[in-house]
């Protein structure tokens, strides 16, 4: 039986600028990140109460914030690629499920986004600097 644990981050509003827009285009005012990181359960079922036993996600969140502010970006996909690579560089992470959405899309409503799921060899390739 497969065992794993996850770190789940939802609805993180990124301070970023993405896209190229012309007159009359709808310009999104919010970009939201959802991220699920898969880890060995040993990072959750711990022998004691101490940071040395767990996966410290704070540095990764700080890196994601830095990447988001590093724009402007033409595409959501490039920011997602950079975030995925930052996650892949942590050997504790065995899989990622990354969702980036923007809103509004039309008439002040709607959310549009991309989703990327990586594990195994594609995640390892990205960690080495490959395209995944």
- Report residue 65 as tokens: 């914030």
Output the CA torsion 54→61→108→19 (10° steps).
-140
In which domain, by residue range, is 13 found?
A: 5-43+54-127
- Split into its structural domains, the chain has a count of 1
Would you state the pLDDT for residue 131? Answer: 62
Rounded CA separation 49/53 (Å): 8
- Report residue 89 as tokens: 């560089």
Q: In this predicted model, what pLDDT tens digit does every residue of 87-117 receive, in sequence order?
A: 999 999 999 999 999 999 999 999 999 999 9
Would you state the pLDDT for residue 132? Answer: 46
Q: What are phi and psi of 12, to 5 degrees?
A: -75, 115
What are the distances in angstroms from CA 45 to CA 41, 53, 90, 91, 96?
6, 9, 19, 18, 20
Q: CATH number, domain at 59?
A: 3.30.1130.10
């Amino acid at each position: 039986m497969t065992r794993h644990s996850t770190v789940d981050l939802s609805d993180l509003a990124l301070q970023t600028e993405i896209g190229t827009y012309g007159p009359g285009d709808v310009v999104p005012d919010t970009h939201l990140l959802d991220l699920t990181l898969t880890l060995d359960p040993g990072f959750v079922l711990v022998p004691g109460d101490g940071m040395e036993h767990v996966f410290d996600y704070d540095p990764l969140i700080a890196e994601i914030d830095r990447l988001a502010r590093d724009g402007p970006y033409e595409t959501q996909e490039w920011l997602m690629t950079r975030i995925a690579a930052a996650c892949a560089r942590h050997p504790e992470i065995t899989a990622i499920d990354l969702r980036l959405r923007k809103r509004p899309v039309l008439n002040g409503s709607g959310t549009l986004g991309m989703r990327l799921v990586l594990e195994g060899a594609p995640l390892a390739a990205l960690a080495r600097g490959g395209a995944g």
